[in-house]
Amino acid sequence: MYKHRFNSKGSAEIGQCAEDLFVEMARKRGWAVLDATKEQNYKEHWDYLLRKPDLACYVEVKGMKRVNRNANQNDQMICIELQGNTGYPGWLYGKATHIAFLMREGFVLLSRPKLVEKIESIIDVNAQPVPSIPKKELHTIYQRVKFKHKDKIVYITKEELLSVPHKLWELDNV
């Protein structure tokens, strides 16, 4: 599990728990699950290759995020990574075919290209980012300049995310 040196609040562990749960649910639904290599995960932004005899998809799994380091996990404001902290394209523009977001009711699976369309229809993704602050505003692009990161993240509502065609893997089906 990758753990950033500034991860003092358990973010890596939260993400790993979401990934473990996703794998368990995928296998129970009959998918063969192959892990991405460290390089594929980091550079191509996908966690798992899911396979069935007639279908394959690359999935990036997202756990519930906190809007700041001291907040509780939240599935009402969805964090979207436009650009990673090294300045390269973020997971929104990666090679995953699908993104799986953990919500309180289960995993919301949707097409990454359809999510790109939605994000680009409601947000000017080329706008200059502002320095990240504890209380985040929707549709504002933030950058963590305090840590000299080159990332660009933006928050949308759960309703905006769910307006993209999706499937729900309910948690009580595990």
Domain map (residue ranges) of the chain:
11-173
CA dist 71 and 88 (Å) reads 27
Output the pTM of the full model.
0.88
Pick from 77, 116, 79, 76: nearest CA to 96: 116
**Residue range 11-173, CATH number:** 3.40.1350
Nearest CA among 102, 126, 124, 97 for reference residue 113: 97
Taking only the tens place, the pLDDT of each residue in 30-84 is 999 999 999 999 999 999 999 999 999 999 999 987 665 555 667 889 999 999 9
CA atoms within 13 A on the CB side of 164: 24
More confident residue, 153 or 65: 153
